[in-house]
Chain A
């Protein structure tokens, strides 16, 4: 198969084959990250801009390392310090970035669909690093990559996603990706944190955490985003930990060998107990490591596809 998209905007529009192709390419890049010289010249002469309208350290740093290991030049723009403050629109920002001869824009934005809109207006590749509540494709890809590495495959797996599903782009991207690859996905949260129509994406809903864990090969624990609780309607932290927190005791009743994932940053004692986060079921830090391989693969593939598009245009 050949990768033809100049952008990576989400997993919803990707086919199973495309997702598997990214995962396969990432395996090759993971080997690069184990070398003494962790760098290849594949994107030499290319420039990547990290355009972040929301605070992020781990995703931005992960993209930055990925780009540098491909020998690309990287520029970071944080919205706080940019002309967004002066009222420039996203499309104008994109066009200005393009006028600087940038090849790839990695963007995080608080509006759902922002990455897709930018991608339509610029010739540069756009990689979505999280748009509102919509998608965070590279996070889901690294979660799936880690799962596949641990359990050998995705087909037929039972995966639970626990926590604030309603506000989570990580959950949405994970559901799209996992369902396409043949996993059974269960989402588990208090009613107020389950969005409407989530079943239409192919996920099963439960409010019983112990029931979810009993059947799951893996559980993806989401951070409780209390900062989004404008109406003060979320369960309180301690209450949430009691009813949904992943503890040693809960894990002892779960399926044997269950894998515990978390996209970070973790809130110890709120959605996950400390001894679980650091325990033998946890692959949280491996996810971070795998994130670099996934992002190297994505940057490489969109860049290659865009080169081909440019050449077709000139032919």
Chain B
């Protein structure tokens, strides 16, 4: 499959990713008026790393730490009976109570909205947060559910035959966002 993928354009480089995350961190703080009752929960895999980085940005700005958790949504996917390759189940790691918290869900790319739908179901099973907000690095459009991002790093209009790849230092060795075309 990889051989059929063609890199079309680089949307964000390393510095742009860093600046974008810093801007989102400011926006999260602005909307929530600080860090009180605030927590970040990243959706595996890359959302988890982005959540950690956003938390570092927030701590840099406010001088206050913010709780970070990791959510695995595999068991909540609506395509489990369709999935052509079996997804690997990983652990959810949220060691704090989300009851009455303002939860910011973090993911790399917002596309159909189905992942976010699964994530919200998973969160509701863990408790009743005061609010759930959504932060993504890239919004590429083509929603199939009534879901939108509260904080988006970049809106990238894409065609269905394209994909947006977010690459991160932690998972891919370098920070960048690229559009790839399926051949």
Contacts and interface: CB of A to CB of B under 8 A. Distances in A.
Contact of A28 (B72, B76, B84, B85): B72
B113 to A, nearest CB: 18
Interface string A277-315: 000000000000000000001001100110110010000
A307 B88 contact: no
Interface residues of A, number: 25
Contact of A304 (B80, B91, B125, B126): B80
Contacts of B80: 42, 304, 307
Given A37-B125, A307-B81, A31 B92 contact: yes
A304 B85 CA distance: 9
B125 A40 contact: yes
Interface in B42-85: 72, 74-76, 80-85
Given A35-B126, A307-B83, A28 B121 contact: no
B15 to A, nearest CB: 36
Interface residues of B, number: 23
A3 B89 CA distance: 12
B85 A2 contact: yes
A16 interface: no
A308 B86 contact: yes
Contacts of A3: 86
A2 B86 contact: yes
Contacts of B127: 36
Given A35-B125, A35-B126, A40 B86 contact: no
Contact of B89 (A25, A36, A41, A308): A25
A54 interface: no
A80 B116 CA distance: 48
Contacts of B89: 25, 28-29, 297, 300
Contact of B86 (A32, A45, A305): A305
A27 interface: yes
Contacts of A300: 75, 89
Given A29-B89, A35-B126, A40-B125, A311 B84 contact: yes
A99 to B, nearest CB: 20
A42 B79 CA distance: 10
A216 B85 CA distance: 41
A297 B90 CA distance: 11
B76 A40 contact: yes
A160 B86 CA distance: 36
Interface of B: 72, 74-76, 80-93, 121-122, 125-127
Interface of A: 2-3, 25, 27-29, 31-32, 35-37, 39-42, 45, 70, 297, 300-301, 304-305, 307-308, 311
14 contacts: A2-B86, A28-B91, A31-B91, A37-B125, A39-B125, A40-B76, A40-B125, A41-B76, A41-B121, A301-B86, A304-B87, A305-B86, A307-B80, A308-B84
